[in-house]
Amino acid sequence: MGKKELPKKVAIICVGNICRSPVGEALLREYTEQSSCSFIHNIQFDSAGLFGGRLQIAEDSLDFLHKRGISTDDFQSKKTTREFFDKNDLIIVMENYMKEFIITHYYPLLQHSEQKKILKRIYTLHEVAGASGEISDPYHTSSKNFLRVLQSIDGACQKIIKRWESSTKSQKFWQRFGDKIKSLFQ
């Protein structure tokens, strides 16, 4: 995926797929649907957990999304698989260690150069938003801490959408006027 190219399929990953990744998936989907920039409307989102599967979304995450009018009726946590990673061209993780975990557990037999290609598709949520840092796991913490973590996810998701919108507006501009501008300098 090139620097200015938008992803077509995005996977959001956390540990259990019950706290952070379902919120990231739901918010990114909601914000792309609300965007005035039609280029990003077709991005598909999914989420999974490194150790998830068959669990219900955490109560604090559920409340956070419902207060924003976002339904979770169809949500069912799932565990990551190699096939899951292979079908996504951008993989968003919550913590840095997850990058190496994915390579070690799902691509151990690939040559190092091939593993590096996979790593070029894996970023933390904050990295995709243009920042640094990680989103810590709020599982078994206070509701106050849980809310702080979910607000951090929300802020990062909003920044990602703004970056994608900005990128697509630039693409539209160059598609429309690029040849005209080039002809001025020839």
Strands (E), the chain: 9-14, 44-49, 90-93, 122-124
Q: What is the CA radius of gyration of the chain?
A: 18
Closest listed residue to residue 118, CA positions, set 93, 135, 141: 93
Structure confidence at residue 3 (pLDDT)? 47
CATH architecture for segment(s) 9-184: 3-Layer(aba) Sandwich (3.40)
Instruction: Report yes or no: 15 and 137 within 8 Å, Cβ to Cβ.
Output: yes
Structure confidence at residue 1 (pLDDT)? 42
pLDDT of 186 higher than 80? no
Count of beta carbons in the 10 Å neighbourhood of residue 106: 17
Instruction: Report yes or no: 96 and 124 within 8 Å, Cβ to Cβ.
Output: yes
Structure confidence at residue 137 (pLDDT)? 97
Structure confidence at residue 53 (pLDDT)? 80
Closest listed residue to residue 140, CA positions, set 45, 44, 52, 16: 16
Six token digits for residue 176: 């429309």
Average pLDDT of 138-146?
96
Digit-coded pLDDT (tens) for 52-73: 888 899 999 999 999 999 999 9
pLDDT of 43 higher than 60? yes
Alpha-carbon gap, residue 20 to 77, rounded angstroms: 11
Six token digits for residue 165: 């919108």
pLDDT of 45 higher than 80? yes
Digit-coded pLDDT (tens) for 145-180: 999 999 999 999 999 999 999 987 766 665 666 565
Average pLDDT of 18-22?
98
